[in-house]
Every structure is written in C-alpha cells, then in structure tokens.
Amino acid sequence: MTHTTPAFLQIHQADDAAVRRELAAGLVQSPAQVSPKFLYDALGSRLFSAITELQEYYPTRTEAGIFATQGADMASHIPARALLLDLGAGCCTKAERLFPVLRTAGYVAVDISVDFLRETLTTLQQRHPSLPMMGLGMDFSSSLALPPDTRPWLARHGLEAAPRVVFYPGSSIGNFSPPEALRLLRQAHAVCQGGGAGGGLLIGVDRVKPTDILEPAYDDSLGVTAAFNRNLLLHTNHLLGTDFDPRQWQHVAFYDSAQSRIEMHLQSAIAQQVRWADGERRFAAGERLHTENSYKWTPEGFVALLEAAGFRPAVHWTDEHEWFSVFWAEA
Ligand SMILES: C[S@@+](CC[C@H](N)C(=O)[O-])C[C@H]1O[C@@H](n2cnc3c(N)ncnc32)[C@H](O)[C@@H]1O
C-alpha cells in the first residue's frame, strides 16, 4: 500500500484553558518556573534543530555516532517489524535512520510541537510511501497511553499485535527529575506491553561528565541556545497573553554537580511587572524564571531506574569518550 499523507491525531490544543492554568501557576510560584515543554512551538523546534548543529552541542552527534557504528548490534537485540513509537520526535531524523536497521513496520511520531510535527511527518511520509505513519500531537507529560482513537489506524495496518519499540532519544528523559522519570518510564513500560512479545524501550541518555564540556553545550558562543530559551517567553505570550519582552531577559545555564543537572533560567535584567488577563507577577532585577533541567546519569543509575520501572536488565552502547549511552531494555 502507498501512503501519500500520514494519519494525524491532534490531542494537544495550544488554546486550552488547562495550558493557561498550568503556565499561570508556574509564573506565580517562587521561584517562577515554566515547564521545558513550552520551549517548543514551531520556532522553538527550529531553534532546537539549529542547536543540534552547534560545535558545543555534543549530544546529538555523539548519539548519532553510537547508532551509526553500533546499529547492527542493536538490531540483534531489538525485534524487527515492530511499531516504532517516537517520543518527542522533533524533526524525526533519528527514527528515519532506524527504519532500515530495524525494518520498522509502522511509525508513530509523538510531539507537543504540533505544527512542526505535521510538517516534518508529511515530508517524511513522501520519502517512505510504503511505511504506515501516524502523527500524535500530544503532551505526554500527563499520560503516555496511546489514545483510543489510534486503534482503528493500528487495525487497518495490521499493527495491533506488532511488538512496540518505544524510542526516546536525545536524552530528553533528562528534563524530568528522577521520580518524574520513573513515572514516565513506568508508563512507557505499559505502552510496550500493549503490543506483541519482545517490545521494549530504546533510549538515549546523557552521562555525568566534566562541567567544562557540559556548560558550553547549553550556553553556546553564537547565542542560539539563548534565543531558544528566550523564545519560551514569546510562546508564553502567545499561549497565556503575557507581555514578556524577551530583550529584558538574559539566558543563564550552569551545571549543578550536587544534583547532576544542567539548569537553564531566564534572568530579569530590570525590575519589571509581567501581566496577563487575570494575573500578574513582579520580578526584581536579577530574579530568575526556571525554564529547564537536564539531568545527567551514570549507566548504573539509569539501569537501576529502568529496572525499577519494570524493564528487564538493559544492554547499553556508548561512544569512545563515554559521554552518552543508548540503552535497550525489553519490557
Ligand atoms: C530535545 S528535543 C529532541 C528532539 C529529537 N527527538 C531529538 O532527539 O533530536 C525534545 C522534543 O520533545 C518534544 N516534547 C517536549 N516535551 C514534550 C511533551 N511533554 N510531550 C510531547 N512532546 C514533547 C519537543 O517538542 C521536542 O521536539
């Protein structure tokens, strides 16, 4: 069968009252915070793609190197003809490279950045017309379960009983604190168990390493990461109707070794008041808005997390510097 356009289900709605409540609740907290998922609108997704090309941003090319050199070995552990579920698919490049390696039978790309996902998946479908594809525009931070509306599509393509490979690359798991990550991985485990035998999780994880390698990756010399971070303010203006002026906010990124995490913040350059329809928040000069954490893991710590989430003992592959790891854990 030839597919010209991918199936698409849009669950996440940018104009949702729940989105506005979540943003407002974070802004009035002390310290103020906005979830990193709001870094991604169409422009945020494009800025992230630019970040992945920066010399300082080692994770993308390091992870790609692991897949390129060790993909064949990975394929000997991972079931062929599986349904590949890509969490936070972005530009879908990483999954596309896996299609021939894993002989993927169906592809479901999940992302909160709905317009960007529609665009990238439509182009991807044209390059792979025989592969059934579905886009799921949804926020998986509340639930990872496949929406019931995916069932007719799975049935139509004979994919209900296919093993499910949940693919979560790019160390996006690092955006969650260890207890939140455990909760998400338990949900990923349940998703894998919803398909045929042999399914599991293929996940890329950034490792603990020296600060002088970590910090420039989140504070590059061209200021692309700073623009990506500040774009969260424009996105918040769009979603909540706030009057943030990005020029009055400075990008701050540092490694907290006690918590093994990079923190990203926006720091107010002046004393200012930010207003929206039914709320406001005063920021002193130098006060920060916390926008992202990126936890770094040791392989031992991550294997223990996978097992606590219900997965079997994992196998993992790494690069020559041991900066990044890719784990395969059967459900
Ligand atoms: C760091 S980027 C990784 C993109 C790509 N997978 C890669 O590895 O290069 C994170 C991706 O996850 C998506 N994302 C972040 N939070 C999400 C959420 N709560 N639900 C769905 N997608 C999310 C973003 O839109 C973005 O495309």
Task: Note whether 153 and 268 are same-domain residues.
Answer: no
Q: In whole angstroms, give the CA distance from residue 127 to residue 149.
A: 26
Per residue in 219-251, pLDDT (tens digit) is: 999 999 999 999 999 999 999 999 999 999 999
Q: Contact 306/297 with Cβ under 8 angstroms?
A: no
Residues 160 and 62 in one domain: yes
Q: Is residue 70 part of a domain?
A: yes
Do residues 291 and 148 share a domain?
no
Is residue 208 predicted with pLDDT exceeding 80? yes
Q: Are residues 176 and 247 in the same domain?
A: no
Assess whether 316 and 179 both reside in one domain: yes
Q: What is the pLDDT of residues 142-180, one digit of tens each?
A: 899 999 999 999 999 999 999 999 999 999 999 999 999
Nearest to 108 by CA among 186, 191, 52, 171: 191
How would you classify the pairing of strands 106-111 and 83-87?
A: parallel
pLDDT at 14 over 80: no
301 and 258 within one domain: no
Tell me if 201 sits within 8 A of 189, measured CB to CB.
yes
Let me know whether 67 and 157 are in one domain: yes
Q: 264 and 129, same structural domain? A: no
Claim to verify: residue 125 and residue 149 sit in the same structural domain:
yes
Q: Which residues line ligand 1 (CB under 6 A)?
A: 37, 40, 45, 48, 52, 60, 88-90, 94, 110-113, 139-141, 169-170, 172
Pocket test for ligand 1, best of 62, 112, 136, 264 (most atoms within 8 A of CB): 112
Q: What is the pLDDT of residue 218?
A: 98
- Tell me: do 34 and 162 sit in the same domain: no
**In a mutational test of the pocket of ligand 1, which residue from 39, 51, 113, 124 has the highest number of ligand atoms less than 8 Å from its CB?**
113
**Tally of domains within the chain:** 2
Q: Verify that 31 and 83 share a domain, yes or no.
A: no
Please choose from 84, 111, 119 the residue to mutate so as to test ligand 1's pocket, defined by most ligand atoms within 8 A of CB.
111
Structural domain of 196: 57-209+297-330
- Record the pTM: 0.97
